[in-house]
């Protein structure tokens, strides 16, 4: 029997979440598949969305090439853009959309407008769609204020740019009480006024909570995988990943005896301890505290002791029927990943994208 640590990916839920994102946002929506689709498997998720999706987005070129090599033909936006002139040429040859957030990237696009053949002649290169990034206040990447119009005109002057879209990124859209998102929307609109191009402002939180930010394109990231970025039940998203394993050893621990590294858990009553085949090397957060929720054979349970590299421990005292072989859900339909993230002092994005080393299976394809 193989190790029971397992991630079950529901592609039907993925498609329904995409439909929800599209319905909320209106217009077109990119499915964000960066970081191996937030730990869900980029190729399988892209294939599961084929025929439904308007396009995909990834972080960098290699992530896009993996999808192209798997036969994914829909538009793919590379959110970090090209890192050098060679990547720009490769992106053009593979019909990838590139984000453009600094002057050098425009120069590389212009330089790639003509390519040299084996015989030494130069011929026009393949056309390219550029996504011009506006820094509307996050101050991480993009053109600011009057730079936007200059960059737009420079792209239009490139002989191989067949389309331009305008985009920005929201820094605090998941904070409904913050006024920063409204300020960013105003800054984006001012910087792009009069420019004839489709626009994209909304990430998942923008789609969920900021109607004024909705434009031609949305970018559905974490909501695609069933996580409500506003932590509310109103979106009716479905968890796509269920991470589970099984108890493979049971130990009875007397009062006053410790369990695990650091002796962090000390039994305050006679305790049945279940040892579960999954740990932080599989992506479960190492700093998850005692009491972090799990489900044991479908019933609520809790973590005890410190999470190890390959295993963790759960309290079986209130689960007299549980034992070796019992199913343990770490997150999924019974245990929301947001609850695990909250307990561990982190965010669902980090937890999901850290999943590795476990067997993945896909249903609903």
Predicted pLDDT at 234 = 76
Question: Taking residues 170-195, what's their average pLDDT?
Answer: 95
Residue 220 lies in a domain: yes
How many CB atoms are located within 10 Å of the residue 162 CB? 11
pLDDT at 219: 98
Catalytic residue among 18, 34, 38, 284: 34
Residue 96 has pLDDT above 90, yes or no: yes
Residues 207 and 256 in one domain: no
Give me the pLDDT at residue 118, please. 56
- CATH code, domain with 146: 3.20.20.10
Mean pLDDT of 57-77: 97
Tell me: do 279 and 150 sit in the same domain.
Answer: no
Q: What is the pLDDT of residue 227?
A: 96
Q: Which of 177, 201, 225 lies at the terminal end of a domain, its last residue?
A: 225
- The answer to the question of residue 4 being in a domain is no
CA dist 349 to 16, 21, 47, 248, 266, Å?
19, 17, 22, 29, 32
pLDDT bracket for residue 123 (50, 70, 90): very low
Can you tell me which residue has the tokens 């920063």? 180
Which tokens sit at 288?
């998850």
Q: How many residues does the chain have?
A: 365
Whether residue 303 has pLDDT greater than 90? yes
Same structural domain for residues 266 and 216?
no
pLDDT of res. 235: 85
Give me the CATH number covering residue 248.
2.40.37.10
Torsion on CA atoms 85, 86, 90, 92, rounded to nearest 10: 20
Q: Are 68 and 200 within one domain?
A: yes
Both 307 and 255 in one domain: the answer is: yes
Please write the tens of the pLDDT for every residue from 196-243: 999 999 999 999 999 999 999 999 999 999 999 987 767 889 999 999
Check residue 337 and give its pLDDT.
97
Look up residue 20 and give its two tokens.
């929800």
Residue 133 among the catalytic residues: no
212 & 349 share domain = no
Choice among 38, 133, 225, 261 that is catalytic: 261
Residues 184 and 40 grouped into a single domain: yes
pTM of the predicted protein model: 0.94
Distance CA 249, CA 175 (A): 43
Q: Which residues are annotated as a binding site?
A: 140, 309
- Binding site residue list for substrate: 140, 309
The count of structural domains within the chain is: 2
Asked whether residue 56 is assigned to any structural domain, the reply reads: yes
Q: Mean pLDDT of all residues in the chain?
A: 94
184/252 same-domain check: no
Domain that holds residue 75: 11-225
Residue 231 belongs to a domain: no
275 shares its domain with 159: no
Co-location of 52 and 199 in the same domain: yes
Mean predicted confidence (pLDDT) in 292-300: 98
Asked whether residue 120 falls in the same domain as residue 189, the answer is yes
92 with 194, same domain?
yes
Position 114 confidence tier, pLDDT thresholds 50, 70, 90: low
126 has a pLDDT exceeding 80: no
Active site residue 261: yes
Nearest-angstrom CA–CA distance, 224 and 220: 6
The token pair that represents 50 in the structure block: 């084929």
pLDDT at site 121 = 46
Question: Positive or negative, the Cα torsion across 149, 135, 26, 67?
Answer: positive
């Amino acid at each position: 029997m193989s190790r029971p640590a397992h991630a079950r990916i529901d592609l039907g839920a993925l498609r329904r979440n995409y439909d929800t994102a599209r319905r909320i946002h209106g217009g077109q929506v990119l499915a964000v598949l960066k970081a191996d689709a937030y730990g869900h498997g980029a190729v399988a998720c892209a294939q599961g969305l084929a025929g439904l999706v308007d396009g995909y987005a990834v972080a960098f070129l290699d992530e896009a090439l993996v999808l192209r090599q798997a036969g994914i033909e829909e538009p793919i936006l590379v959110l970090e853009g090209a890192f050098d002139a060679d990547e720009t040429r490769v992106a053009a040859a593979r019909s990838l959309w590139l984000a453009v957030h600094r002057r050098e990237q425009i120069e590389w696009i212009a330089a790639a407008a003509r390519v040299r053949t084996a015989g030494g002649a130069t011929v026009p290169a393949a056309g390219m769609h550029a996504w011009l990034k506006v820094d509307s206040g996050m101050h991480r990447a993009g053109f600011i204020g009057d730079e936007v119009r200059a960059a737009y005109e420079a792209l239009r002057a490139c002989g191989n740019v067949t389309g331009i879209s305008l985009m920005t990124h929201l820094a605090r859209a998941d904070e409904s009480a913050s006024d920063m998102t409204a300020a960013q929307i105003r800054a984006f609109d001012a910087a792009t006024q009069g420019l004839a191009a489709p626009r994209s402002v909304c990430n998942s939180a923008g789609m969920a909570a900021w109607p004024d930010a909705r434009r031609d394109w949305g970018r559905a990231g974490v909501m695609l995988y069933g996580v409500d970025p506003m932590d509310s039940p109103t979106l009716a998203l479905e968890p796509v990943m269920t991470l589970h394993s099984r108890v493979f050893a049971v130990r009875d621990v007397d009062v006053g005896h410790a369990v695990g590294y650091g002796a962090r858990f000390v039994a305050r009553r006679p305790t049945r301890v279940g040892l579960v085949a999954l740990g932080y090397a599989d992506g479960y957060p190492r700093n998850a505290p005692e009491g972090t929720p799990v489900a044991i054979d479908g019933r609520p349970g809790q973590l005890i002791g410190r999470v190890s590299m390959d295993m963790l421990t759960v309290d079986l005292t209130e689960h007299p029927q549980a034992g070796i072989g019992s199913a343990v859900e770490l997150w999924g339909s019974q245990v929301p990943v947001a609850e695990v993230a909250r307990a561990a002092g982190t965010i669902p994005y980090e937890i999901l994208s850290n999943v590795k080393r476990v067997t993945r299976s896909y249903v609903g394809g």
